[in-house]
Amino acid sequence: MSSGTSGGESPGKEPSGKASSTTSTDKQKEKARVSRTSLILWHAHQNDAGAVRKLLEEDRSLVHARDYDNRTPLHVASLHGWIDVAKCLLDFGADVNAQDRWKNTPLADAEGAKKHTMIELLKSYGGLSFGQTGSHFEPKPVPPPLPNKCDWEIDPSELDFSNSNIIGKGSFGEILKASWRGTPVAIKRILPSLSDDRLVIQDFRHEVNLLVKLRHPNIVQFLGAVTEKKPLMLITEYLRGGDLHQYLKEKGALHPSTAINFALDIARGMAYLHNEPNVIIHRDLKPRNVLLVNSSADHLKVGDFGLSKLIKVQNSHDVYKMTGETGSYRYMAPEVFKHRKYDKKVDVFSFAMILYEMLEGEPPFSNFEPYEAAKYVAEGQRPNFRSKSYLPELRDLTVKCWAADMNQRPSFLDILKRLEKIKENVPADHHWNIFNT
């Protein structure tokens, strides 16, 4: 540790003739000082502004603490972008232009890590850039291995629309089957007239940023996007089997073993999305957004994340006030329709409606318009079970998943366990091979 931490540490006076006792006290004080230096650096690293403040109130000199590389707590906070910690340190007089052993200032670290809010904050306090930005990562600066935009930005010239056809439409634009470097892909293309609409661009970027993070066999795979040129486009894998809506329209009620296997695929994808602490609420789970990998329908994937919400869960019981009436009315949870606070269990409700449709062969409340159906559900009504193929356990699971009280609905991990158990007792009607594409 450097002398930057030594302020305010002079030992108290000892009675004469007790030199050895003084030496021992000095050692203890030095140990305590080193320990507090480590503590403030650790709390700065952990983004614990409260603990940093408490240490500084006890000993203001700790604001100048340094580690073996001469890095101060402000260097640490700047690299990670921890704004509250940085503000606290600056309030206690941190040197905004302290240099570490590579001659880097906190601002140089913030610039190296592209922490834009931190860069603004440090500049407002007179922060300057010295040294090699980010050089403490490597002997010479190299970009950190983050998923850079260049990894997924696609040049529109690589997309071949010569044999393209429209496979879906929406208010934002259309979804086309086209070709990318010789491979069939699905392309969500924003209407040119909307390509300058600030909210449309914001939603588009939100969806891209979400998809970049997703990797799962039961989630439609994002391949890239066109964000530098117009029209804006989002490219995903193309699934030959079409969507579950069309499949059910053609096939009607499914055999229980098929319905269970379909439900397992959907639940696996959803359990992955709902994994804490970074929970993704789909908010528009419906048969049109469940895709079949191929015509033999032996593998499903959840897609279309245009309305999804990524939220950081501090507490597993957190609920959120989000925009009401998001998604499709027929599969919508009552709390969304009523503009109440809701959480990830809205997806469990939609899953119950899909399970019902797979076993009944028709959408829930098919004799009502979608809005009327949602209103009916919000008033406490649920569809009637008519199908003979309903197993008592499946019926029980469906009822639990569409409970009016969202806290009574099981999680997707629980749903998976129940479905696996039910599957053990059902005779299969055909060979099921999950990865046979």
Is residue 381 within 8 A of residue 353, CB to CB? The reply is no
Q: Which of 67, 100, 284, 343 is labelled catalytic?
A: 284
Q: How many CB atoms lie within 10 A of CB 101?
A: 15
CA dist 65 and 308 (Å) reads: 43
Q: Which residues contact 46 (CB under 8 A, 6 or more apart)?
A: none
Distances (CA, A) of 329 to 11, 365, 408: 72, 11, 21
Check if 347 is active-site: no
Tokens of 47: 């983004």
Residue type, 118: M
On whether 345 is known to bind a ligand per the annotation, the reply is no
Q: Are 399 and 356 spatial neighbours (Cβ–Cβ below 8 Å)?
A: no
Q: How far is CA 125 from CA 103, 105, 110, 133, in A?
A: 19, 13, 14, 19
How far is it, in rounded angstroms, from Cα 117 to Cα 114?
9
Amino acid at 297: A
Of residues 263, 218, 292, the one with CA closest to residue 423: 263
Classify residue 326 by burial, with Cβ atoms within 10 Å: 0-12, 13-18, 19+.
middle
Indicate which residues carry an active-site annotation: 284
User: Residues annotated in the binding site, as ranges?
Assistant: 188
User: Residues annotated in the binding site for ATP, as ranges?
Assistant: 188
